[in-house]
A and B are shown apart, each in its own frame.
Chain A
Amino acid sequence: MKMRSWIFFFLLNLGAAGLWAQPANPGYKPVTQTYALKNATVVVKPGQTLQMATVIIRDGLIQAVGTNLPIPGDAKVIAADSMFVYAGFIDGLSYAGIPQSRPTAAAGQAGPPQPGQQAQRQANAANPTNEQAGIQPEIKARNVISPQEKSLEDLRKLGFTAAHVVPQGRMLPGSGALFLLTGNTADEMLIRDHTSLFATLNGARGVYPSTVIGVMSKFRELYKQAEQAKMQEAMFAANPAGMAKPANNKSLQAFYPVLDKKLPVYFAVDDIRSFHRVLTLQQELGFPIVMAGLKQGWYVADMIKSKNIPVLLSVDLPKAKETPKPGEKKEGEAAPKVDPEKEQLEARAAEEMKKLESQAAVFAGKGIAFGFATYNGKPAELRDNLRRMIKNGLTEDQALSALTTTPAAMMGMTQALGTVEKGKMANLVVSDKPYFAEKSNVRMVFVQGNLFEYEAPKAAPAAGPARTAGGTPAASVGGKWDYAIDAQGDAYTGVLTISDNAGAISGSWSSNQIPGNNAMINPVLKGNQLTFSSQINMQGQDMTLEFDLQIQGGSFTGKISIPQVGTFDIKGSRQGGPNGLE
C-alpha cells in the first residue's frame, strides 16, 4: 500500500534546458545564402523523382529545380552526386523545443513538496488552481518554446525541418503553432501561430481532475462554460448597460475559436480506448478534431475513413525483440524444454507486434491520408520504426506523404511546405542513400535555406559477439548495483539487480521511493550498453520507464526517460566496490 513516490514530482521540475544548450546557429553569417545542390536524385514529391537534377536555393526559398539548370555565380555549389533530396519533413504534433519543465512548474504539478505545501495542496485537491489542474489552454507554444532545446536538433538531424509544436502538460496544456526547426528566437522560428488547441485525457496528479473520468467531465463543463462566457461577452460588447462585467476567464476564452470551429482540437489518443473516448466528446460537442498520435488504429480505420477524421499516427513502436539465433545452445546442455503455452503466448505477441507495425500500411491501403506525430515516440527510434512500417506494407511514397505533403496540408501550408518545387520554402533533407534504406544517413538538412551538415557515422568496428571489446570478453554485468538519480540535489537511490546468465540478461530494480521490485522488461546488452524498460503504476496510471545505461567496469552512467515527464541522469556502481562480484 506504500504507493508514493516523490520522484516524479522532482523529475518534473528538473531544469533540463541548460544541459542541452547548443547553439542552433554557429553565430557567423554564412558566406552566401545561395546554394546549388548539383546532380542529385530529387524526390520532388511522393511519386515524382528527377535524376541528375539540381536544386537552387536562394534567400530561404527554392529558386529552381530541374536538370541542366544554370548555376548562379554567387551559389555555393554542393556536389550531391549519388545523394537523395527530399522535402524537409513536418512533424504533425511534437514537443520539440518545449522545455521539460517550466519555471512555474509544469501544469498539474505544484513542484517538489515543501513542508506545509503538500498539506495545502491536499486540502485544495478539490479546488485546485487551473495551473495545478493542468488546465491552461491559454498558454501559447510560441511563448514556451525554447530555441536552445536539444530536442529541436534531435528532430532536425532526422530530416525534420518544421514541427507543429504544442506545450506539454496534462488536460489542456495550451495551443500549438507551426515552427521552423531553426532560429534564434521563437519569433524567428514561427511559421504559423495558433494552429491548434491541444488536449489530452491525462488527469492532474493528486488534484481535480485526476482521472480520465474527471477529465472527460471537466472538458464538457469547460466547453459549455466557454459557450456561456462567449455569449455573455458578446452581449456586453453590444450593450454593457445594466450588465455585470464578464468574468474574462482566459482559459475559457482560449476555447472561443474552437467554438467557432475555426481552430481544431488536436487530441492526444494513445490507444483504441482513448480514441473512442475522444470521439465521444467530439460527437457530443461538435468541435473540429485531429486525432493525434494514434496507436491500435486498425480497429477504427474504416470509421476514420467514413467519418473523414483527420489523423496523425504515432511513430512509436514497441522495441523489436531480438530473435535468439539457433545453435546458441552450449555443449553438454540439455535442449531447452519446449513450453507450448509459452510458445503460443509468444506467437500471440508476435502477431500483435505485426499489427502495430502494419498500422500505417492499413491506413494507407484504405486511402486515408495521415501524418505522423512524434510527441509520443522517441526520435532515436524513428527511422528504424519507419523502416519497420515499410517492411510491413507501407510504401516509401506513402511514408513520404505522411512526413511531408499530408502534414503540410493539415497545417494549411501546402503552398510553402511539403515538396521540392520552385517557390517553396527551402526546407530539404539530403541523404546519402534513399532515405528509408538501411544504413542511409542524413548528410544535410536545409531549414529555410540554412544549411546543417552531418557527418556519416564512422564504420563501427567489426561487430563481434555482443560483449567483446578488443577480443577480451567483458566481465559479467551480473550482480547488485547501487544507483542514484540526481534530481536537483536530491538523490533517489536504490538497487539494480542484474542476472547475467551467459549473456541472457534479466533483473529488477528497487527504489527508496517506489515499493517492491520492478522487473526489467526486454533487457538488451550490446557492448557496454544495457537498455531495458520497466513498468510502474502511479495512481492508477501505468508508466513505462526506459533505461539506457553505459557500463564501464564497476560503474555506469546513463539516462532514464519517462514519457511526458522527461529524461534524467542516472549513475551507479557495483556493490562491494568496482570489481566486487556478487
Chain B
Amino acid sequence: MKNSLLLLPLLLLGVWGFAQSKTGSILLKNGTVLTVTKGTLQNTDVLIVNGKFTQIGKNIVAPAGTKVVDVTGKYVMPGIIDAHSHIAIDAVNEGTAPVTSEVWVGDALDPLDISIYRALAGGITSVHTMHGSANAIGGQCETIKLRYGAYNPEDLRMEGAPRTIKFALGENPMRSHGEGRGIQPRTRMGVEQVIRKAFADARDYDAAWAKYNAEKAANPRALQPVYNRRLETVADILKGNIIVHCHSYRADEIYMLLNVCRDFGVKKLCFQHVNEGFKVAPELAAFGAGASVFADWWAYKFEVYYSTAYNAAILTRNGVVTSINSDDAELMRHLYHEAAKSQHFGGLSDDEALALITINPAKQLGVENRIGSIEVGKEGDVAVFDQHPLSVYAIPQLTIVDGIIRFDRQNDKKDMRLEVDPAQPIPAFNMENYEHVDRCMQGTEDLWYYLFENEKH
C-alpha cells in the first residue's frame, strides 16, 4: 500500500507532464527509417524540432538540450493514421433525423478517453473520429491528434485539418428511419433521394442568401432567409469546403453516390468500408474518390457478405487512394497487422502496404501535406517498432506526436487513466465481461426495440 501511494504522484506527474506543451523536439538515432514516400533509409537519424521533422540523414547533431533516443536495430515509420474511428467522443449518432449535417462530433471530444492511450500503444498518432452511420447524411467528423494527457478538448484537434462529414448508404439509415420510424428512407432508393433532396435544398438555401446579399445594399429592409445550420452545412459540401466520407458496402450504391455527386458537382469524396469497392475500382479511380476499407472483416450483416480480403490490393492496383481503417478501438491497436494482410492477400509492396495506414488516409483527410510520411517539414509523428511493422512479430516501442513521446513501451505506466470515478468499484476486465460494441449505430438502440421487441407483443 505504501509503495503504491508513493508511486502515485509520480504517475500523475508523468501524465501531466504530457499536457504541458503541444510540440517537442527529439532526435531518433540510427534507425531503419520507413519514410513511406521516399523509400527506406538504413542507419538513419531523424530529428524533430518543435514538432516538425527538420533533418533526416546520418550523424545529425541535435540542438543542445534535445532528447536523444537510440533506435539502433529498430524501425521508424510515420505515425499511423486511422481514417475511421469513434474514439474520444461522447456522442456518435444524432440518430433522430435522416439528415443531421449540422451536428459535429468535434463538439463532443473527450480527451480523457483511455482509448486514446491504447491507440498510441498501437503506433497510432492521428485519428479521424466520426459521426455514426444512422443517418443518410450524418454529422461532421473531426481529425484529431492523439495528444493524450490533455484535459482541454481543443488540445486534441488537428488545427487546420479540413472539415469532413459522414454519409451513410444502405441498411443503417434504412433501418434507423425507414423501418424504425416509417419515414424516408425505407429503401436504398430512398437513401439516394434523401441525399439529392438535401443537396437541392441546400442549393436553394444558398441562392436565397445570395439574393438577400445582392438586395440588402439597395433595400435595407430586405429580410434574411431563416438561418439553417443543416442546409448551410450541406451548402458547404456543395462548395467543396467539406470532404464527404460515406459509409457504404454495395457496388451499386457506391456507383449511385458517384453519380449523385457528379450531378451536384461534389468532388471531395471518400468511401468508408466499401466492401464491394473491388467491383467498381476503375470507376472510383476515374472519379478520384478514395476508399477506406477493412483488411478482412465482413459478414456482420446482410449487405456485407460479398467481400474479399483482396479488396485493398485490387483498389490500390486500380489507382484508388486506399486506406485500411479500424472503426474499432481494439482493431485500431494493430492496424499495422491489418496493413500486412494486404501483402498476404494481393502481394502489395512494403511501401504500398504501409501507405494504407499512413499517407493514404492522410490524403483522404486532406492532410497529406502535414502528416503521413517522414519528410522534412512535415509534423513529427512517428511510430517506432522493434521489428518491421509489417512483420507479425512487430511490437510498437515508441509513439511520438508532434515531437512528444506519448507512448513508451519501456516506460508504460500501469494506470494511464486521466479520470477516475472514486465511487466506481475497482474495475475488473476479463474476457468474460468484455463486450464488443459496434459504435457505428450507437444511440439508436431504441430502434431495435421498436423493430423487433414490439412485434412480439
Contact of A206 among B90, B154, B417, B446 (CB under 8 A): B446
The reply on B424 being an interface residue by CB < 8 A is yes
Q: Which residues of A (199-213) have their CB < 8 Å from a CB of B?
A: 206-213
| Contact call B12/A351, Cβ cutoff below 8 A | yes
**Chain A residues with CB below 8 A from B442, complex form:** 540
B108 lies within 8 A of A211 (CB): yes
Q: Does B223 contact A (CB under 8 A)?
A: yes
Q: Cβ of B443 < 8 Å from any Cβ of A?
A: yes
Encoded as 1 (CB less than 8 Å from any A CB) or 0, chain B from 103 to 146 comes to: 11101101010000000000000000001000000010000000
In the complex, which of the residues A235, A319, A352 contacts B221, with contact meaning CB atoms closer than 8 Å?
A235
Query: Can you give 18 A-B contacts (C-beta < 8 A)?
Result: A1-B445, A123-B182, A126-B96, A206-B446, A208-B97, A210-B95, A212-B107, A216-B107, A231-B224, A318-B422, A318-B423, A345-B415, A345-B426, A348-B8, A351-B12, A352-B421, A352-B422, A539-B443
CA distance A533 to B228 in the complex (A): 42
> Interface with B: A218-226, A442-450, A496-504, which one?
A218-226
Tell whether, in the assembled complex, residue B448 and residue A1 are in contact, meaning their CB atoms are under 8 Å apart. yes
> A residues engaging B (CB < 8 A)?
1-4, 118-119, 122-123, 125-127, 206-214, 216-217, 220-221, 224-225, 228, 231-232, 235, 239, 242-244, 272-273, 276-277, 280, 296, 299-300, 318-319, 321, 340-353, 356, 519, 521-522, 533, 535, 539-540
Contacts A208-B97, A221-B228; is A122 near B426 (CB within 8 Å)? no
Residue among A214, A340, A351 having the largest count of chain B Cβ atoms under 10 Å: A214
Q: Determine if B423 and A243 form an interchain contact, defined as CB atoms under 8 angstroms apart.
A: no
Question: Is there an interface contact between A122 and B227, defined as CB atoms closer than 8 Å?
Answer: no
Whether, in the assembled complex, B288 has its beta carbon less than 8 Å from a beta carbon of chain A, the answer is no
Q: Are B415 and A348 in contact (CB under 8 A)?
A: yes
Q: Which residues of A contact B3 (CB under 8 A)?
A: 340
Shortest distance from the beta carbon of B221 to any chain A beta carbon, whole Å: 6
Q: Which of A126, A209, A342 contacts B98 (CB 8 A)?
A: A126
Complex-state Cα separation, A208 to B96, whole angstroms: 5
The answer for the CA separation of A318 and B415 in the assembled complex, in Å, is: 21
Please report whether the interface of chain A is mostly helix, strand, loop or mixed according to DSSP: helix
Nearest residue, chain B, Cβ from A280: B107
Residues of A within 8 A of B4 (CB): 340, 343-344, 347
Q: Who on chain B is nearest to A244 by CB?
A: B223
The answer to whether B446 and A4 touch across the interface, beta carbons within 8 angstroms, is: yes
Given A213-B105, A217-B229, 6 more A-B residue pairs with CB atoms under 8 Å apart are A2-B449, A209-B94, A212-B91, A221-B229, A276-B153, A344-B415
Q: How many residues of B contact A (CB 8 A)?
A: 63
Contacts of A299 in B (CB 8 A): 151-152
Q: Are A519 and B107 in contact (CB under 8 A)?
A: no
Task: Please report the C-alpha to C-alpha distance between residue A538 and residue B216 in the assembled complex, in whole angstroms.
Answer: 48
Q: B227 near A221 (CB under 8 angstroms)?
A: yes
Is B102 on the interface with A (CB-CB < 8 A)? Answer: yes
Verify if B342 is at the interface (C-beta below 8 Å from A). Answer: no
A341 to B430, CA, bound (A): 14
Residues of A contacting B12 in the complex (Cβ-Cβ under 8 angstroms): 351
User: With A1-B445, A125-B97 given, is the CB distance from A214 to B423 under 8 Å?
Assistant: no
- Kindly state the separation between the CA atoms of A319 and B93 in the bound complex, as whole angstroms: 33
Cβ B223 vs Cβ A212 within 8 A: no
Check: B61 CB closer than 8 A to any chain A CB: no
Shortest CB–CB separation between residue A442 and chain B, in angstroms?
Answer: 27
Given A212-B107, A341-B414, A348-B415, the answer on whether A273 and B112 have CB atoms closer than 8 Å is yes
B1 engages A347 (CB within 8 Å): yes
Determine which of A123, A221, A272, A539 lies in contact with B151 in the assembled complex, contact meaning CB atoms within 8 Å.
A272
Interface centre among A231, A521, A539 (most CB of B within 10 A): A539
CA separation between A232 and B222, bound complex, in Å?
9
Given known contacts A122-B450, A210-B96, A346 and B426 CB-to-CB distance under 8 angstroms? yes
Q: Which residue of A lies closest to B176 (CB)?
A: A125
> 8 Å CB contacts to A: which residues of B49-97?
90-97
CB proximity of B117 to chain A, nearest CB, Å? 15
For the complex formed, measure the closest distance between the CB of B19 and the CB atoms of chain A, giving whole angstroms.
9
Interchain CA distance A244-B181 in the complex, whole Å: 36
Contact string, B429-457, partner A, CB cutoff 8 A, digits 1/0? 00000000000001101101110010000
* Given contact pairs A213-B139, A299-B151, A343-B1, A539 touches B445 in the complex (Cβ within 8 A): yes
Do B108 and A349 have beta carbons less than 8 Å apart? no
Distance of A489 from chain B, by nearest CB (Å): 19
Give 10 closest A-B pairs by Cβ, nearest first: A126-B97, A318-B423, A3-B445, A4-B449, A211-B91, A353-B422, A216-B107, A208-B96, A213-B103, A352-B420
Q: Contact at A318–B421, with CB atoms within 8 Å?
A: yes
Q: Which residue of A lies closest to B9 (CB)?
A: A351
Q: In angstroms, how far is the closest chain B Cβ from the Cβ of A280?
A: 7
C-alpha gap A212/B97 in the complex (Å): 15
CB pair B7 A344 closer than 8 Å: yes
CA A299 to CA B443, docked complex, whole Å: 29
Decide if A351 touches B423 in the complex (CB within 8 Å): no
Inter-chain contact A212/B420, CB cutoff 8 Å? no
